[in-house]
Structure 1
Amino acid sequence: MSASKQQESKPIGVRAQVWYRPGQAARQIETGEVPKILAQAEGLLWTGLYNPEPQMLHEAGQAYGLPADAIEELLTPHKRPKLIEYGDFLLVVVITVGLKDKRPVFGETQLLIGKNFLLTIRRSSLIHHSDLRARLENAPDLLARGPDYVASELLDLIVDHYLQALDVLERAVESIEQQFLLHGFRETDVRRIYRLRRDLLRTHTVVTPLAEICQRLSRIESEVIDVHARAYYLEVSDRVRRTSEFIYALREAVAFAFEGGMMIEQMKQTDTGRKLAAWAAILAVPTALAGIYGMNFKIMPELEWTLGYPFILSVMGGVCGTLYWKFKKMKWL
């Protein structure tokens, strides 16, 4: 049975703790065995923790021989990516992005990279490492490249989930564009676009710094990162930069859709105002004539004329018809 399929037998905090050695089967180990295994300086020890309790993190930190400040850093929640060097190992903090009910859900993944070990800590992250672990277990040559290579694969997996989340957000942006440009928008639509822009801004804030971190990992002078593994981090950095540009493009598309919708609404209001003004001008003619003849003076033009009433109605109709024709020609009606 592969190590990834044995995770359910572990406590909820420890999802997998496997020792991989060239030419030998992977073996699940206990935390107490970690110092002995690390002293052998062979193979790869990969431990995956999920929402661990502080006591469990303290025990893991002591087993891996971490200093007090490193353990404290592992216990601290983060909201932005981070890279810290501790001499014999590196700590990389990454903010993950998943989706729940078509809204981004942000989590945290910490990667502690050593010479012969990799410790991953996930908090509130929707990204599972079991599939990647299973794929690498089926390709021992990849695991033999060391923890720095596995860490680059994990970062690449996180970027894949960035893009999956953005694909859903892109469809939401396209839906908003169609709604605004074809049908206008209502008050609920304004709330919807504000929420989407805020989600994109938060996503951009947590994704963009990862490009610089991966860039540093591709240039860093450290025994933990092999020279041959630096190219992998450079590739991940390029992917993060393209992802960041994609997020920026979606934000611009939302802004343009909102501006376009506002312009369409203004045009509709202007068109409505013109129609109202045209009809007001047309109706002002009969209103004025009726008002004059309703003043009940004894001496009024055409009062004694038999055709006076039809004549006034004809005048009203002629003037109103002329105004209607003029406004129609001006495309006000």
Structure 2
Amino acid sequence: MAVVRNPRKVGDLRRVARLTLRRRRVDLSHPARSPLGSAVVNCVPYQKGARQSADRSPSESVARIRKADEGFVWLGLHEPSQEEFAGLAALFDLHPLAVEDAVQAHQRPKVERYGTTLFAVFKTVSYVEHEELTSTSEVVDTGELMVFVGIDFVISVRHGSHGSLGPLREELEAWPERLSQGPAAVLHAIADQVVDDYLAVTDAVQNDIDAVETEVFAAGGARRTDPGRIYQLKRELLELKRAVVPLTGPLRDLADRKNRVVPEDIQAYFRDVADHLTRAAEQIAAFDDLLNSILQAHLAQVTVEQNEDMRKITAWAAVVAVPTMACGVYGMNFDHMPELHWRYGYAMVMGVIAVACVVIYRGFRRNGWL
């Protein structure tokens, strides 16, 4: 009987191993070993968790595995064409609808069953580094990863410039105990890596949100903050949400629903991945609410500052209205006007205007309008 280990502890060990491989800068690339075309990245058979000779075509590798009645073949493809995939579809008896989805891409994250074959679609994400967030900055880059899982094979189809499974393959090959559990263990490892990337991207996006939040609530932040930056973050967050949220149901289905491809001892690992995915989805929902609050606060600050500007303009208009009214009255050129021919009439009028302006100015100043 297979021993079920603590999935959380195993997940932690896998993450440590992944970081160790990255620090060592191991060359994880695999040259194409198949004559089917450049889309084939790798084709490797595994028996008892150990990597076998990979200098054979997919048909020869599958025949070898099925003859031994043990192990599986892991075939990796990158953006294959319909013609390149046709031979593989016939070899592994893949459903035409799943093949069409794998070739055309732009699919919603899902897990579908076609007989004894599982077809899973994952949205891969990566964080786009930038020195300063602008209203046109790309924050989240997405790709797609399709996985066919059968009794004795795994076919991974990658679309996009990121989400390479080379490091993951090396990591699993250094852990024969996991590979010996079959194709379902590979599917779990792929799902775990994809979800780990979701968490990493959400943490990076949080730094951008924190920066915008700090700027908005700083003194005079409403004038300095470009609202386009907030809207851009919301658009990029929506892109991340489209990758994460639809995958919640399929992962729960893999964790709870019995099927021939995923044995019960592997389902416990999928429950751990589903928990991490739920955490990422909750973070994204919280970020969306926070951005809405930041946007509302920014608009409120702009409104308050505009009201303050209008009060200042109104107060100065009232001050200027006094000399304007006096000059308008004495500019009517009537012959008989008070103090018109008095020697000190001009000085008196100017003094009255000055006193009235000072009184009005101090009144507005005392009330906080100026």
The TM-score normalised by the length of structure 2 is 0.83
**What amino acid maps onto 1:30 in structure 2?**
S
Aligned residue among 247, 265, 275 for 2:302 = 265
Hey, what does 1:199 align to over in structure 2? 236
The sequence identity of aligned pairs, in percent, is 30
SS at 1:27 equivalent? coil
Aligned residue among 90, 95, 106 for 1:62 = 90
Matched ranges for 1:136-175 at <5 A: 136-175=172-211
- Say yes or no: does 1:319 pair with 2:346: no
Decide whether aligned partners of structure 1 residues 141 and 48 sit closer, same or farther in structure 2, where only a CA change above 3 A counts.
Answer: same
Decide whether aligned partners of structure 1 residues 321 and 219 sit closer, same or farther in structure 2, where only a CA change above 3 A counts.
Answer: same
**What amino acid maps onto 2:222 in structure 1?**
G
1:55-98 C-alpha deviation (Å, 9 max, x unpaired): 22111122223344443443342431121112212111111122
Aligned residue among 130, 147, 157 for 1:121 = 157
SS at 2:120 equivalent? strand
Return the alpha-carbon distance in structure 2 between the equivalents of residues 5 and 323 of structure 1.
79
Return the alpha-carbon distance in structure 2 between the equivalents of residues 55 and 174 of structure 1.
48
SS at 1:331 equivalent? coil
**How far off is 1:285 after superposition?**
1.0
Decide whether aligned partners of structure 1 residues 247 and 178 sit closer, same or farther in structure 2, where only a CA change above 3 A counts.
Answer: same
Alignment gaps of 5+ in structure 2: 1-25, 130-137
Aligned residue among 46, 53, 78 for 1:27 = 53
Return the alpha-carbon distance in structure 2 between the equivalents of residues 152 and 24 of structure 1.
18
SS at 2:122 equivalent? strand
Return the alpha-carbon distance in structure 2 between the equivalents of residues 193 and 3 of structure 1.
39
1:172-212 C-alpha deviation (Å, 9 max, x unpaired): 222322343333257x9333332321221122122101111
**What amino acid maps onto 1:322 in structure 2?**
V
Hey, what does 2:102 align to over in structure 1? 74
Return the alpha-carbon distance in structure 1 between the equivalents of residues 29 and 333 of structure 2.
100
Return the alpha-carbon distance in structure 1 between the equivalents of residues 91 and 347 of structure 2.
107
- Aligned-residue CA RMSD in angstroms? 2.3
Decide whether aligned partners of structure 1 residues 71 and 37 sit closer, same or farther in structure 2, where only a CA change above 3 A counts.
Answer: farther
Return the alpha-carbon distance in structure 2 between the equivalents of residues 311 and 71 of structure 1.
96
- Say yes or no: does 1:12 pair with 2:50: no
Hey, what does 2:132 align to over in structure 1? none
Larger deviation: 208-217 or 119-128? Answer: 119-128
Decide whether aligned partners of structure 1 residues 23 and 219 sit closer, same or farther in structure 2, where only a CA change above 3 A counts.
Answer: closer
1:192-247 C-alpha deviation (Å, 9 max, x unpaired): 33232122112212210111100000112211111011111111111111111111
Return the alpha-carbon distance in structure 2 between the equivalents of residues 50 and 199 of structure 1.
25
**How far off is 1:5 after superposition?**
4.8
Please tell me whether the aligned partners of residues 101 and 107 of structure 2 are also in contact (alpha carbons under 8 angstroms). no
Please tell me whether the aligned partners of residues 211 and 238 of structure 1 are also in contact (alpha carbons under 8 angstroms). no
SS at 2:119 equivalent? strand
Decide whether aligned partners of structure 1 residues 203 and 139 sit closer, same or farther in structure 2, where only a CA change above 3 A counts.
Answer: same
SS at 2:31 equivalent? helix
Return the alpha-carbon distance in structure 2 between the equivalents of residues 65 and 4 of structure 1.
30
Hey, what does 1:256 align to over in structure 2? 293
Please tell me whether the aligned partners of residues 255 and 268 of structure 2 are also in contact (alpha carbons under 8 angstroms). yes
Hey, what does 2:144 align to over in structure 1? 108
Decide whether aligned partners of structure 1 residues 69 and 248 sit closer, same or farther in structure 2, where only a CA change above 3 A counts.
Answer: closer
The TM-score normalised by the length of structure 1 is 0.91
Alignment gaps of 5+ in structure 1: none
**How far off is 1:300 after superposition?**
1.5
